DNA sequence: CTCTTTGAACTGACCAGTCAGTACAAATCT
DNA sequence: AGATTTGTACTGACTGGTCAGTTCAAAGAG
C-alpha cells in the first residue's frame, strides 16, 4: 500500500463521516477506523485534522474543476450554450459519484476558516460556468450586460441542490431525467408558451 | 423579559454561531454567552442542545414557508409564472434578512439526524414552488409531463445558493439585480437569440 | 537501510448536561 | 393588611466523559 493509497482512503473515510456528522462532530479516531489505518497514520500523513480537511477540500475541488472543464471543452466547436448543458451534466455526474463531497462542500465551505477553498472553488468550478457564459455573451447568444457571475452561481447551485436532494430523497430517479429538466429550465423551454403568448 | 424573548435570543445566537462553526463546533456555553443568558437557561428552555437546534430549524422553516406562501398568494389573479417570480424574490429577501439561517439550513439539514426537518422543508417551502409549477401545468403554461418536483428543488437551490454567495462574497450587489438575473434565467430570455435562431 | 505504518498509552483542554440555589411575582392564607 | 406558599425563570459552579494531538517502540514494506 503506497502513501497515495493511504491518503485516498483517508480522504474517502473523512468525507463520508464529515458529510454525516460535520467536521467538528467527526473524530480522528473514527476517520482512521473507517479508513482501516491507525490513528498515528493520520497525523503522519497530514499533521493535523485541519490539514487533512483542507487537503480534502482542495482535492475535491480540483477534481470537480477538472470534470467541469473537460465537459466544457468538448466538442470544441459546439455553441457556448450547448457546452453549458454538458457542464451541468458533468456536475450532476460528479456529485452522483461523489455524493458526500457535495454535502461537505456546501456544509463546511462557507465558514470563514476555509475561505481559501471558497476562492479556489470560485476560480475553478464556478469559473468554468462563468467563462462559458462570457463566451456566450461574446458570441451574441446572450445580451451584453448579462450578469455572468450571478448566473454562474445560480447554475452551479441549482445542480448542486438537485444532486443532494436526489441523493437523500429520490435516489431512484434517473440522472438523465433530472438533467433534462434542468436543461429545459435553463433554456427557457419551460415558459415557451408564455414567450409565444 | 419573557420566556419568549429568551428563546428568540437563543435562536438568534445559536443560528449565527452554528452558521460560522457548525453544529458540533458550537458550544452551548458560547450560545448562552452571545444570547446574554446563563448556560443553565438553555437547558431550562430547551432541554438539550439537540432540542434547541431542532426547534431552531422548525422555527426558521416555518417562517420561510410563510414568507414564500404569502408571496405566492398575491396578487391572486396573476399567472402562475408571475407568482413564481414573486416567490423567488421573497426567498432572496428572506435569506437577505436571515442570512445565517440559509447557511445553517444547507449545512446541517442533510444529516440523517434532522430528517424530519428536511421533510417539513419539502412540504413547506419546496411545496410552495411545486404547487405554483403544478398550477402552471394545469393552466397550460407548462407541458404536462414536466417534472415539477425536480424543478422546484432547482429553483429553491438556485435562490439559496445565490443568497449565500452574495452574502459571503458580494454583499454590495443590489438584491433587485440578482433577482432580475434569476428571473431571466428562469424565463429563458437568456437564450432568446438561440430560440429565435 | 529508509520510509511508512502500527497501536497503545498518555495529556490537557474542552464540553454537554446537572443541580442546588437565587429572584421574584402572583396566589393563598390568617 | 401582612405573612406565607407556590411556580416560573434563571444562574453558574461542578462533574464525568470525550477528543485532538503527542510519543514511541516495534513491525512491515520497498
CATH class of A1-47: mainly alpha
How many Cα atoms occupy the beta-carbon half-sphere of A13 within 13 Å?
23
Contacts of A166 in chain B (CB under 8 A): 150
For A177, name the nearest residue in chain B, comparing CA atoms only. B147
User: How would residue B195 be classed by pLDDT, with cut points 50, 70 and 90?
Assistant: very low
A36-50 pLDDT tens trace: 999 999 999 999 999
Q: What confidence score (pLDDT) does residue A1 get?
A: 64
Asked if B147 CB < 7 A from strand C, the reply is no
pLDDT at position A148 over 80: yes
Exposure on the CB side of residue A194, measured as CA atoms within 13 A: 19
Q: Is residue B146's beta carbon less than 7 angstroms from any atom in nucleic acid strand C? A: no
Tens digit of each residue's pLDDT (9 = 90 or more) over B176-188: 999 999 998 888 7
Residue extents of the structural domains in chain B: 1-47, 53-192
Contact B177 A108 (CB under 8 A): no
- What does the pLDDT look like over B153-178, one tens digit per residue? 999 999 999 999 898 888 999 999 99
Lowest-confidence pick of A5-9, A132-136, B124-128? A5-9
* pTM of the predicted protein model: 0.90
| CA/C1' separation B43–D15 (Å) | 16
The rounded mean pLDDT for chain B is 89
According to the CATH classification, is domain A54-190 in 1.10.357.10?
yes
Q: Which residues of B touch A23 (CB under 8 A)?
A: 22, 24-25
Query: Could you report the per-residue pLDDT of B35-82, keeping only the tens digit for each?
Result: 999 999 999 999 999 999 999 999 999 999 999 999 998 777 788 889
User: What is the distance in angstroms measured between the alpha-carbon CA of A156 and the sugar C1' of D1?
Assistant: 74
Please state, in angstroms and rounded to a whole number, the distance separating the CA atoms of residues B125 and B117. Answer: 11
Percent of chain B, pLDDT > 90?
A: 66
What's the Cα-to-Cα distance from B100 to each of B13, B42, B160, rounded to whole Å?
Answer: 10, 20, 12
Cα distances (Å, whole numbers) of residue B52 to B10, B19, B48, B57, B146: 8, 15, 6, 9, 39
Whether A185 sits inside 8 A of B155 (CB atoms) is yes
B88 pLDDT band, cuts 50/70/90, is very high
B3 band by pLDDT with thresholds 50, 70 and 90: confident
Establish whether the CB of B43 is closer than 7 Å to any nucleic acid atom in strand D. yes
Task: Give the confidence band of B113 by pLDDT, cuts at 50, 70, 90.
Answer: confident
Say which residue the cell 454567552 belongs to. B33
Per cent of chain A over pLDDT 90 is 62
- Name the nearest CA neighbour of B133 among B121, B118, B119, B144: B144
- The CATH superfamily of B53-192 is Tetracycline Repressor, domain 2 (1.10.357.10)
Segment A121-150 shows an average pLDDT of: 91
Q: Which of A91, A107, A140, A192 to mutate to test the interface with B (most CBs of B within 10 A)?
A: A107
Residues 26-45 of A with CB under 7 A from strand D: 26-29, 39-40, 43
Residue B193's pLDDT is what? 40
Q: With contacts defined as CB-CB under 8 Å, which chain B residues touch A165?
A: 153, 157
Q: Are B11 and B56 in contact, with CB atoms under 8 Å apart?
A: yes
pLDDT in the model for residue A189: 56
* Nucleotide D5 C1' to residue B35 CA (A): 33
B47 beta carbon < 7 A from strand D? no
d(CA A100, CA B110): 10
Map grid coordinates 429565435 to a residue. Answer: B196
How far apart are the C-alpha atoms of A25 and B107, rounded to whole Å? 13
A155-164 pLDDT tens trace:
999 999 999 9
CA dist A68 → A32, A40, A73, A128 (Å):
31, 36, 9, 7
**CB contacts, 8 Å: A185 with chain B:** 151, 154-155, 186
Question: Phi and psi dihedrals of A41, rounded to 5?
Answer: -65, -35
- Cell numbers of B146, please? 414536466
* Cβ distance of B149 and A141 shorter than 8 Å: no
Interface test with chain B among A194, A195, A196, A197, by most B beta carbons within 10 Å? A194
Residue B145 CB neighbour total at 10 angstroms:
6
Amino acid at each position: 500500500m503506497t502513501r497515495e493509497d493511504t491518503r485516498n482512503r483517508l480522504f474517502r473515510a473523512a468525507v463520508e463521516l464529515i458529510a454525516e456528522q460535520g467536521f467538528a462532530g467527526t473524530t480522528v479516531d473514527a476517520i482512521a477506523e473507517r479508513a482501516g489505518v491507525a490513528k498515528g497514520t493520520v497525523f503522519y500523513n497530514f499533521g493535523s485534522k485541519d490539514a487533512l480537511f483542507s487537503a480534502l477540500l482542495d482535492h475535491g475541488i480540483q477534481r470537480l474543476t477538472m470534470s467541469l472543464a473537460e465537459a466544457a471543452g468538448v466538442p470544441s466547436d459546439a455553441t457556448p450554450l450547448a457546452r453549458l448543458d454538458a457542464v451541468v451534466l458533468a456536475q450532476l455526474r460528479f456529485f452522483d459519484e461523489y455524493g458526500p463531497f457535495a454535502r461537505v462542500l456546501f456544509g463546511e465551505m462557507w465558514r470563514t476558516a476555509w475561505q481559501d477553498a471558497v476562492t479556489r472553488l470560485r476560480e475553478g468550478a464556478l469559473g468554468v460556468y462563468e467563462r462559458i457564459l462570457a463566451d456566450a455573451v461574446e458570441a451574441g447568444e446572450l445580451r451584453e450586460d448579462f450578469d455572468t457571475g450571478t448566473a454562474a452561481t445560480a447554475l452551479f447551485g441549482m445542480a448542486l441542490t438537485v444532486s443532494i436532494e436526489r441523493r437523500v430523497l429520490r435516489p431512484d430517479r434517473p440522472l438523465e431525467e433530472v438533467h433534462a429538466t434542468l436543461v429545459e429550465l435553463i433554456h427557457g423551454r419551460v415558459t415557451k408558451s408564455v414567450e409565444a403568448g
